[in-house]
A and B are shown apart, each in its own frame.
Chain A
């Protein structure tokens, strides 16, 4: 009797359906939708005028090399470190991951679908901020576009890995939001979110530069200015991805 039963994992149709469902969940969560798109725009608008028009390096203005990297970093950081973990913690608390584990779909599929939707949301957030920067504030394209795209992808993965640590360790959805917000502001403060790191004490500035937020800002800045990316920042981001993967794999609970 068992010979007739074949293990059949869900196909592309199931993946598409899950991604569509996750997208609906994200769109219907108004606060989570607005912050990663609104906050970067706000930072852009508030800093664009002060940044001025004068060229600092390679034909790029202060807006290009100081404001844009920050604006672009905030998008994957809010989505990856705050939003995604709160969804995952909620799915666990509500028993949804457990419920899916008794269907032919694995609960891992939901996490991946959530990651795909987050990536799309990140693209939209960065795209919106970039469009406003180009059209309204006369921003320039990066000197090294390929490096900028590479840095953005690596940074998104690193923010996600950081978020997975939050998702794996937070006991409740509320705790996930709290831990995620604290992590976002701590990484941001050390990474230049509230003004340059030069204002920080030396050890904190060095630490901030090696944490994912600061490292992302540095990489994007280098890509825009056309300077070489400091390997330290690439190593920081790669290490975050590995560490986040290992820590969340060890501590993650499905129920």
Chain B
């Protein structure tokens, strides 16, 4: 298993690579992504490749650059440096096409406060050619009995569940879920995991940002660890634990983050 994709072709990370982006087999390719806000380097030379049907977890401390990275992949933020391809498409220049196949749950997004769960689902369903049925989605995220409740009256966790449902409503081929289960109770968390497992069976490519090690261990094929905007490790959950010489992923996370970025292998 490769540990860092940034060193493709033996080049050191950080140098612009000339490897063509149009890699037909990978669902998502991000190469040498960089983004700064004023004096803050939010993302520094991050390269990732996510295979079709793969579930990639992104871990990292608060402010590590996870949201900035995934929102650059989604075309929501413009990278200062680097390139992104989603199913071979540029998410900014071929926006309209990418929107058909990409579903995203944003870490921070509210919805029309006075509309009910059912009305919001109807609204988003209308945007897609073949939306998932509302009943199935509601059951999926456990909001069936809240379907007539206005968004503003939902609890934080219920709003989060609706947001996940809306990310998946258009049957995306690539789903980006930023802080998937943050704020969910244990039962809801398990429901959402079951849903992700179903996506895995459907060969949907998923990038999920998480702070929950148990979740990452259970769902993800590979884990990318971000630290201070840099990609410091990219491995299977088990590989990461072994690398850190830790007993579990929690310990590995602590061991591998919050220190100087290591040199790529």
Interface residues of A in 124-163 (CB under 8 A from B): none
Q: In the complex, how many angstroms separate the beta carbon of A5 from the nearest chain B beta carbon? A: 5
Q: Spot the interface stretch: B32-40, B101-109, B137-145, B238-246.
A: B101-109
Of the A-B pairs whose beta carbons lie under 8 Å apart in the complex, a sample of 22, sorted by A's number, is: A1-B24, A2-B89, A5-B100, A6-B100, A8-B100, A9-B96, A10-B126, A18-B123, A21-B119, A28-B114, A94-B109, A96-B111, A98-B76, A99-B109, A102-B74, A102-B75, A102-B104, A103-B127, A103-B170, A104-B99, A104-B127, A104-B170
Q: In the complex, how many angstroms separate the beta carbon of A172 from the nearest chain B beta carbon? A: 14
Interface residues of A in 7-23 (CB under 8 A from B): 7-10, 13-14, 16-18, 21
Find B106's partner among A6, A13, A95 (CB 8 Å cutoff): A95
Which of A2, A14, A16, A28 gathers the greatest number of chain B CB atoms within 10 Å? A2
* Chain B residues within 8 Å of chain A by Cβ, number: 34
Which chain A residues have a beta carbon within 8 Å of chain B's beta carbons?
1-2, 5-10, 13-14, 16-18, 21, 24-25, 28-29, 91, 94-96, 98-99, 101-105
Check if A5 sits within 8 Å of B123, measured CB to CB: no
By a CB distance below 8 angstroms, the chain B residues around A6 are: 97, 100
For the complex, give the distance between the alpha carbons of A102 and B98 in Å: 9
Knowing A13-B126, A95-B110, A102-B74 are in contact, say whether A24-B119 is a contact too (CB < 8 A): yes
Check if B112 sits within 8 Å of A21, measured CB to CB: yes
Knowing A1-B88, A2-B88 are in contact, say whether A102-B102 is a contact too (CB < 8 A): yes
By a CB distance below 8 angstroms, the chain B residues around A95 are: 106, 108-110
Given contact pairs A24-B119, A99-B111, A102-B76, enumerate 17 new A-B contacts (beta carbons under 8 Å): A2-B87, A2-B97, A5-B98, A7-B100, A8-B129, A14-B126, A17-B126, A21-B115, A21-B123, A25-B112, A28-B114, A94-B110, A96-B109, A96-B111, A96-B112, A102-B106, A103-B170
B128 interface hit (Cβ, 8 Å): yes
Q: In the complex, how many angstroms separate the beta carbon of A15 from the nearest chain B beta carbon? A: 9
The 8 closest A-B pairs by CB, nearest first: A7-B96, A17-B126, A2-B88, A94-B110, A95-B109, A14-B126, A28-B114, A99-B109
Check if A18 sits within 8 Å of B115, measured CB to CB: no
Which chain B residues have a beta carbon within 8 Å of chain A's beta carbons?
24, 74-76, 87-89, 94, 96-102, 104, 106, 108-115, 119, 122-124, 126-129, 170
For the complex, give the distance between the alpha carbons of A1 and B114 in Å: 40
By a CB distance below 8 angstroms, the chain A residues around B24 are: 1
Chain B interface main SS type: loop
Which of A7, A8, A28, A102 gathers the greatest number of chain B CB atoms within 10 Å? A102
Report the nearest A residue to B86, measured CB to CB. Answer: A2
Report the nearest B residue to A15, measured CB to CB. Answer: B126
By a CB distance below 8 angstroms, the chain A residues around B119 are: 21, 24
Knowing A2-B88, A21-B123 are in contact, say whether A101-B76 is a contact too (CB < 8 A): yes
By a CB distance below 8 angstroms, the chain B residues around A7 are: 94, 96-97, 99-100
By a CB distance below 8 angstroms, the chain A residues around B127 are: 10, 14, 103-105
Which of A91, A96, A103 gathers the greatest number of chain B CB atoms within 10 Å? A103
Knowing A95-B106, A103-B127 are in contact, say whether A5-B101 is a contact too (CB < 8 A): yes
Check if B112 sits within 8 Å of A98, measured CB to CB: no
Q: In the complex, how many angstroms separate the beta carbon of A201 from the nearest chain B beta carbon? A: 44
By a CB distance below 8 angstroms, the chain B residues around A10 are: 126-127
By a CB distance below 8 angstroms, the chain A residues around B99 are: 7, 102-104
For the complex, give the distance between the alpha carbons of A10 and B97 in Å: 12
